[in-house]
Structure 1
Amino acid sequence: MAKYTQTKKSAEIVKPHEQGMIVPVYKGQVGDNRKKGAPKSNKKNITSNVIAKNILLGLNENMDGATNLIYTRTGVGEAKILTDLGYPFNSMEQLLVAMHRPRSAEELTKAIKTTRLINGYKTMQDALASRSIMPMPESSIDISLKTTKQIVDSLPFTLTSDQKHAVWNCMQDISSNVPMNRLISGDVGCGKTLTYGIPLILLHLATKNKTGVSLVLTHNSLLAMQIEKELREIAPQFNVRTKLIVAGDKNVSKIDQNTILVGTTALIHYMKKHGKHLSVDMLVIDEQQKLGSEQRNKLIQRHTNVLQATATAIPRTTAQIMFGAMDISIIEQCPVKKQLTHWLQASSQKKIL
């Protein structure tokens, strides 16, 4: 019979007072907290033990502050959370203690489930609160149907009916005095980039003489480069002005008005430095599930038309769609037939592949 062994790296000795208990292990972080110009001796790491000590200190000395923060973030009091969720704890203090110092595995499981319920509750509250969007005249931009036809007719292929429907939805949103908040949902290869690229270029052409910009935010440099190239190729006859913004690019010049900026989260720093005075007329988030909401919100102004594209929407977005806080355009038809090949491999072939 074969003998299997398992080796654990960086094993730790369990302290006597923690034996027989469920002890939380927090994910530490190796970082450099030095201020600019400070000596290397000031470098600090945030270890799991440091986090554990601070949380224990907070549970003992700042429980009121922790619970009040939860009530502030959720926008409701303890009694309403207890009533609406019906979770198996008598107070928020009990829940926090159970999360970090559980007496049993069963209590910890209940605490984790309850925490997820509260997060879901907060998401639904946000979705309900954002159902009614105030009209913003600045968000309304007239789109030329003649220009739209010129762009669509010049494409080397025909749009699918789903793509046409999604483009039309976006055009109506942009022309409305209520800022667009729409998701384009479609599988990989269904033509989402072209679908949002057409209304993006139409808006760009409609605001040619204004001091505004449109942004496309994505999660990595290669995708940003690909999108920027595709946008230039959609309607070359109109000489659409685009600019690529990625981290580490030292040749990026100051922003020009009426430009489509395509980039990674480096766009946030770039706009903060060069684009404070400019109007963000439209923001497209490609692969929204890989970008945080805080990152997106830093680029959104009150009148900004926001369009997100993804194959796998995050739960918060799904909730917003279900509660009517976000519109959706679904692309199910694929413009080209996919040729998929499946391979079965043995473990011995991994090195070869």
Structure 2
Amino acid sequence: MERLEKAKDFIKQLEEQNYLRLKRSWGAGMYLFNLLKEYLEPSCLELLKEFDKLPFEKKVAVLRLIKEAIKEPTVPAVSFQNEEKYPLEWFLEPLDKVKGLDFKEKKLLKSLGVEDILSALWFLPVRYEDRRLSTSVRTALPGKRYALKVKVVELREDSSDTYPLRVVCTDGTGYLVLRFRYKDPRVKLRFKPSTQLIVYGRVKEFQGEKYMVHPEILSEEEAGSILPFYNIRTKNEQSLSAKTRHKRVRKAMFHITELAKHMPEYIPREILQKYNFLEIGESFYLTHRPPTGDEETLNSFLAPFQRRLVYDELFIFQLALQLRRSEIRSQKAPTLKEGKEWVEQFVSSLPFELTGAQKRVIQEILTDVEKEVPMSRLLQGDVGSGKTVVAMAISYAFAKEGYQTAVMVPTEILARQHYENFRKFLEPMGVRVGLLTSSVKGRERLSVKYHTARGHLHILIGTHALLQEEVEFNRLGFVVVDEQHRFGVLQRKILLQKGRGFYPHCLVMSATPIPRTLALSLYGDLDVSFLDQMPAGRKPVITTIVFESRTEEMLEVIRRELQAGHRVYVIYPLIEESERLSLKAATTEYERWKNLFPERNVLLLHGKMKDSEKIAIMEEFREKGDILVSTSVVEVGVDVPTATVMVIESAHRFGLSQLHQLRGRVGRSNLTSYCFLVVPDQERYSPAMRRLKVLVSTYDGFKIAEEDMLMRGPGELLGESQSGFFGFRVANFMREQDRRLLELAREDASELIKKDPFLLNHADLRKMVLYRYGDKMDLSHIA
């Protein structure tokens, strides 16, 4: 216990004076590791090992996690041990079974996608507000939100100020000024001197004066608890105010969480003991109704009961992946007899040399497709690394042995681009290529479907249109899915089921940079190949940060490149101007670029246009355009080799990976190319500049993805969709602790499947896997 007390005392010292000692310390992580290695679970100890390498904000979050993990409980633990446990099937019943919910509450929950009791329990808060009266004005730290009980001292008014009404208050330890925009004289009546108020808001400080801007005024009942907030965005209940929706959802969840007491545990007991996890029912209950805890710890999903749910979701996901993998391997696939010879024939026809990475990946794929076991492989390659050529080489080999290939891509523009490239390289070699998208209509559509069904077309390229039931193949042997995250597992499965009598080999391609270790865990049903080498002659794009007041040099480069016959992209974050977001927008700035370059052909492209319009504009830009003003609709796959300049306006508003994708639209030839990251002057010292400097310093997409995750502290994405590409409700891979839990969940799932391949000895766990992923991954073999 002496070591535990030392650790608590050391953490207290690190927290003093707004973490002053933490900012100056080095080696604090290993010191705490040595003190606490007997007290903490493995995932916490892993965080302490990396502690000294983390940015300051991340250190603070980890410190709070450790502090929460080692402190003695201040309230009695909620124990459901003696409660009657209902069968798991009961929790899969519709919401109508829940007593205490009225019609309006059920209707609202259903509009939010909550259909049954279990999905209601998984409808977790996205953030919390600590409205307990836990501090005073004197000890309240600027930048944090608090509930404070104060007494009105006086009112001050200044009509020339942005906040004309100022209410000076005190709690006996210091003064707090409440600033309001109200001009209605009736509002003043609630702020009479000596009136007691409970206010909630973020404390700010200027020249020694602490203040809150438009704080909430709470009743005695509203103060004193930690309030959960849910994602209440719904198209069906827009007539209700956000406050009313929050209130109804909270009331409904209060009733539903009572049922968590009866939730049976389904994760093996040895796993719970290994990580010292709480029971599932207790975890649900405390996540919806936390009795205590630091607000930032809760909002970073670092509390023990929250982390149990993160692990739970990842563990079930990993089990589903491994069961899916075993199901795929039980199917029979076509085999290539002379794949190597056909690929060599194709490669010898190319006007360029393949990179070593391309040759390595092609060999990996050939090894797979020569077996009867269906290939399921992810090809991760940076923008411009040559993934499409790899897909062409394998498609050619399948065509020469009498099999068809389906290539599914997310957008019409990308589909047509692939169609042109495949035809250019393969039709001279006797391979017939077809295109099927929503804009292919009438006789042309009927013709494509007819020739595909009869095997006259060797390769069919398309969008979601390929998934339609009436699209039939004659001998589908190979499926290529480009930008996998745009589709999802279920859609990939639909396409793979179109193989008649056998299961096609599948190659999933992605240019979205995902760190290697994360890719291996997230795509557990796939083998992973990496294209980590750029084609010869490609030059790194010269990337520069440009402040809005100093754009003249950038414009000179643009003029020079246009004079040389090259093309320019200009990207904006918005289509139209927004009052809420003071950002430039493509439609308004399009006029400015036309005025800047009146003699040039300036075009406009954005996501609200019809597909036919987008295609026409891209064709015009490729053939005779000069400047394309666009939104990030050009992010994926658009290939114009003569484009040498990428201007990204309001670059601080884009994510690192998205900026890297946009930059990848230039530098697609041996021409010197440029990327200008334009930011407002006031952003010069903002945290966003650190992200942009990473982009300037490297062109390695995998390194950028790693840096992106390291920089985004836990909780940064709170309030937004955290589902990412994989439909997770709570796991968020911007959080380091969630990535660590993913690795642990993968190891645990692998061990369990080795012992119990079809989860026959874990009936409830099998039901949970089927409930979550059965319809998406075709896990009928374990049902």
Of residues 297, 302, 305, the one that matches 2:505 is: 305
The within-5 A match list for 1:109-120 is: 109=301, 110=303, 111-120=305-314
Q: 2:276 aligns with which of 86, 111, 131?
A: 86
Counterpart mapping for 1:246-325 below 5 A: 246-247=437-438, 249-251=440-442, 252-253=445-446, 254=449, 256-257=452-453, 258=455, 259=457, 260-268=459-467, 270=468, 272-275=469-472, 280-301=476-497, 303-311=503-511, 312-313=513-514, 317-319=519-521
In structure 1, what is the Cα distance between the partners aligned to 2:541 and 2:415?
A: 25
Q: Calculate percent identity across the aligned residue pairs.
A: 23
> How do 1:1-353 residues align onto structure 2 when only pairs under 5 Å count?
17-31=221-235, 48-49=245-246, 52=250, 54-61=252-259, 64=262, 67=263, 76-77=266-267, 79-87=269-277, 89=278, 91-106=279-294, 108=298, 109=301, 110=303, 111-129=305-323, 132=326, 134-208=329-403, 213-247=404-438, 249-251=440-442, 252-253=445-446, 254=449, 256-257=452-453, 258=455, 259=457, 260-268=459-467, 270=468, 272-275=469-472, 280-301=476-497, 303-311=503-511, 312-313=513-514, 317-319=519-521, 326-336=526-536, 337-348=538-549
Cα distance change, pair 23–229 in 1 and its aligned pair in 2 (3 A)? farther
Larger mean Cα displacement after TM superposition, 226-235 or 311-320: 311-320
CA drift at 1:181: 1.4
Distance in 2 (CA, whole Å) between partners of 1:12 and 1:280 is: 62
The aligned amino acid for 1:283 is V
Tell me the distance in 2 between the aligned counterparts of 1:81 and 1:46: 43
**Alpha-carbon separation, structure 2, partners of 1:105 and 1:248:** 55
Deviations 1:15-36 (A, max 9, x none): 8744443333332344469xxx
Q: CA deviation at 1:222?
A: 2.1
Distance 1:316 1:306, change over 3 A: farther
Larger RCO (CA within 8 A; separation ≥ 6): 1
1:59 aligns to what SS in structure 2? helix
CA distance in 2: counterparts of 1:282 and 1:289, whole angstroms: 19
Whole-Å Cα distance in 2 between the matches of residues 29 and 129 of structure 1? 34
Contact 2:261-2:282 at 8 Å conserved across structures: no
Q: Paired residue for 2:714?
A: none
Question: How big is each residue's C-alpha offset from its partner over 1:254-299, in whole Å with a ceiling of 9 and x where there is no partner?
Answer: 352344332333433x2x2333x76642222222234322332332
1:284–1:307 Cα contact (<8 Å) kept? yes
Q: For the structure 1 residues 136 and 127, does the alpha-carbon distance in structure 2 shift closer, same or farther, using more than 3 Å as the test?
A: closer
Q: Which amino acid is the alignment partner of residue 415 of structure 2?
A: A
The alpha carbon displacement at 1:187 in A equals: 1.3
Moved more, 12-21 or 197-206: 12-21
Point out the more displaced range, 226-235 or 342-351: 342-351
Deviations 1:104-134 (A, max 9, x none): 3447431333222223323443454456553
Range with greater deviation from structure 2 (326-335 or 150-159): 326-335
Separation in 2, partners of 1:13, 1:299? 56
- Is contact 1:180–1:306 with CA below 8 Å preserved after alignment? yes
Query: Are the aligned partners of 2:280 and 2:308 in contact in 1 as well (CA < 8 Å)?
Result: no
What is the CA-CA distance between 1:85 and the residue it aligns to?
Answer: 3.7
Alignment CA distance shift 1:316-1:236 (3 Å)? same
Q: Which moved more, 1:225-234 or 1:174-183?
A: 225-234
Q: Is the 8 A contact 1:143 1:171 kept in 2?
A: no
Distance (whole Å) between structure 2 residues aligned to residue 342 and residue 134 of structure 1: 45
1:228-251 CA-to-partner distances (Å, cap 9, x unmatched) read 222222222234333333345544
What is the deviation of 1:53?
5.2
* C-alpha distance in structure 2 between counterparts of 1:342 and 1:319, whole Å: 32
**Alpha carbons of 1:54 and 1:280: their partners in 2 closer, same or farther (altered >3 Å)?**
farther
Contact 1:183 1:307 in 2 (8 A): yes
Query: Which one has the bigger strand percentage?
Result: 2
* CA spacing shift, 1:77–1:142, aligned 2, 3 Å: same
Supply the distance in 1 between the matched residues of 2:216 and 2:487 (Cα, whole angstroms): 35
Q: Which has more radius of gyration?
A: 2
> What is the TM-score when the length of structure 1 is the normalising length?
0.74
Please state whether the residue corresponding to 1:120 is helix, strand or coil. Answer: helix
Distance 1:250 1:112 in 2: 51
RMSD across aligned positions (CA): 3.9
Q: What SS does the aligned partner of 1:345 have?
A: strand
CA distance in 1 between counterparts of 2:359 and 2:518 reads 27
In 1, distance between residues paired with 2:394 and 2:494? 22
Q: Name structure 2 gaps, 5 residues minimum.
A: 1-160, 164-178, 182-200, 202-214, 552-583, 593-648, 650-783
**Alpha-carbon distance change, 283 to 58 in structure 1, aligned in 2, over 3 angstroms:** farther
Distance 2:239 2:430 in 1: 51
- Alpha carbons of structure 1 residues 45 and 139: separation in structure 2 relative to 1, 3 Å: farther
Cα distance in 2 for partners of 1:313, 1:81 equals: 28
Question: 8 Å contact 1:141–1:174 — kept in the other structure?
Answer: yes
In structure 2, how many angstroms separate the alpha carbons of the residues matched to 1:320 and 1:310? 13
Taking the aligned partners of 2:241 and 2:431, their CA distance within structure 1 comes to 47
Q: Distance in 1 between matches of 2:405 and 2:221?
A: 59
- Equivalent-residue separation in structure 2 for 1:341 and 1:62 (angstroms): 56
Give the TM-score normalised by structure 2: 0.36
Aligned to 2:7: none
Residues 58, 343 of structure 1: alpha-carbon distance in 2 compared, 3 angstrom cutoff: same
Alignment-derived partner of residue 34 in structure 2: none
The 2-side partners of 1:6 and 1:187 are apart by: 50
TM-superposed CA distance for 1:154, in Å, is 0.9
**Residue identity matched to 1:23:** L
Residue matched to 1:40? none
Q: Which runs of 5+ in 1 are unaligned?
A: 34-42
Q: Match of 1:95, SS? A: helix
Contact 1:142-1:174 within 8 A present in 2 as well:
no
| Farther off after superposition, 179-188 or 17-26 | 17-26
What SS does the aligned partner of 1:226 have? helix
Q: Give the C-alpha shift of residue 344 in structure 1.
A: 1.8
> Which segment drifts farther, 24-33 or 180-189?
24-33
CA spacing shift, 1:14–1:121, aligned 2, 3 Å: farther
Distance 1:196 1:266 in 2: 20
1: CA distance, partners of 2:250 / 2:439: 36
Amino acid in structure 2 at the alignment position of 1:294: L
Provide the rounded CA distance (Å) in 1 between the counterparts of 2:314 and 2:370: 33
